[in-house]
Each structure stands twice: as structure tokens, then as C-alpha cells.
Structure 1
Amino acid sequence: MGIQDIIEGKKQWRAHMARVKALPPDYEIVYKEIQRYYFKVGPIGLADGSLLTGLLEFFEEGVAAGTGALELIGDDVAAFADGLIKDSRTFAEVYQESISGEPGTAEK
């Protein structure tokens, strides 16, 4: 990854966060809580940016439809966030598999 890739990634991230800040307060709060959770859990889909971008687009559609954040996703934000990544592997799982030496995983 060169310096240009880093600069471009930073520009994209700033544009993404500007879109988040443009959301109504209830959506922004829910989005940031889900984002914080994903940063802790580390689903692999987070690295390519599609997970958070898809979530943001989903929220923008909800705003356009005039729906409140909790009306859109339900009262249990944690269950909604878990549901989005239920079939995704996490970086912690990949690491555990690599050090345990399970078949089909990376060797040390």
C-alpha cells in the first residue's frame, strides 16, 4: 500500500463520516454505536468497507422514507448489529485458528 492509497482511503473515510454526520441525530447515534461495536468485534467484512457503507446506505434510505432509526431496525440495536454479521468470521477467530493449528488454517 503506497502513500497515495493511504491518502485516498483517508479521503473516502472523511466523505463517509460526513454522510454519517448528515443523518438525523437518532440515526447518527445508532450508526456510531454499531460502528463502535464492529470495531471491537472485528468482522472481516469491515476491512473492505462494504459493511459500514451498506449500513449507511440503508440508514439513508430510512431517512428518505421518513422512518425513525428504531422503527427501521427495531428496539434491540445489538441484535440488529449481530444479525448483520452472524455468518461473518472475525479477525479474532482467524487468529485463534492460526495459533491452534486446526486443519485448513494458516500455519505459523
Structure 2
Amino acid sequence: MSIQDIIEGKKEWRAHMARVKKLPQDYQIVYKEILKYLFKVGPVELTGATGLLSGIVDLFEEGAALGKGVLEVTGSDVAAFCDELINDSETNADILQETVEQEVIKAMKKSYG
């Protein structure tokens, strides 16, 4: 990744976050929680995440324009909303689960070998 790519990425991120800051307060709060959730368990490949996150902002902007509350847009279970968005992507949780399973298999082979 070149310095130019990094600079462009930062510009895109700042523009993206400027859109978020224009949303009503309840939407901003839920958006920030979605970010936390996605960064913990979300897609491993974050290159497409700006598209995903922009899509969420688009959805939120539309909901706000219609006068809907944020939970009317996402549903009351925001984590389930996130899970649905990333259900076809490999997640950090998937990798952790695979790692644990492999370690258990190795340990069992050593013990019963």
C-alpha cells in the first residue's frame, strides 16, 4: 500500500464520518456501536467494509429522512442486524473458532497419540 493509497483512504474515511455526524443523535449512537461490533467480530476483509459502512449510512440517511427512529430501521436486535449484513463473510469469530478447534485436535493427538 502506497502513501497515496493511505492518504486517499483517510480522505474517504473522513468524508464518510462527516456523513455520520449529520445523522440524528440516535442514529450516530447506533452507528458507532455497529462499528465496534463489526471491528470485533466482523468481516476479516475490511477492504469492502467502506462499501458496507456506506450502505449502512445510506440506509440510516433514508430512515432519518422518513422520520423513523433508528431501531425501526435496524430492528431492536442491532447485533442480529449486523450479523445479517456479514453472514456470507468470513469473520474474526470464525477464525478464532477454527483456531480453537485445531488446537484441541493437536492437544488430543498429543495426549492420546
TM-score normalized with structure 2 length? 0.76
Q: Kindly indicate whether the alpha-carbon contact (under 8 Å) linking 2:40 and 2:92 is maintained by their aligned counterparts in 1.
A: no
1:91 deviates by 4.5
Q: Which moved more, 1:77-86 or 1:6-15?
A: 77-86
Name the residue aligned to 1:73: 74
Q: Are the counterparts in 1 of residues 74 and 81 from structure 2 also a CA contact under 8 Å?
A: yes
Instruction: State which structure, 1 or 2, has the greater radius of gyration over its C-alpha atoms.
Output: 2
Residue correspondences, number: 98
Matched, 1:84 2:85: yes
Which position in structure 2 is the counterpart of 1:64?
A: 65
- Any unmatched runs of 5+ in structure 2? 103-113
Unaligned residue ranges in structure 1 (runs of 5+):
101-108
Q: Which residue of 2 aligns with 1:53?
A: 54
Distance in 1 between the 2:78 and 2:64 partners?
17
CA RMSD between the two structures = 1.9
TM-score by structure 1 length?
0.79
Measure, in 1, the Cα distance between the counterparts of 2:13 and 2:85.
21
Deviations 1:27-54 (A, max 9, x none): 0001110111001113145322211111
Q: What's the offset of the Cα at 1:88?
A: 1.4
Amino acid at match of 2:62: E
The SS at the match of 2:52 is helix
- Partner residue of 1:36? 36
State the identity as a percent: 62
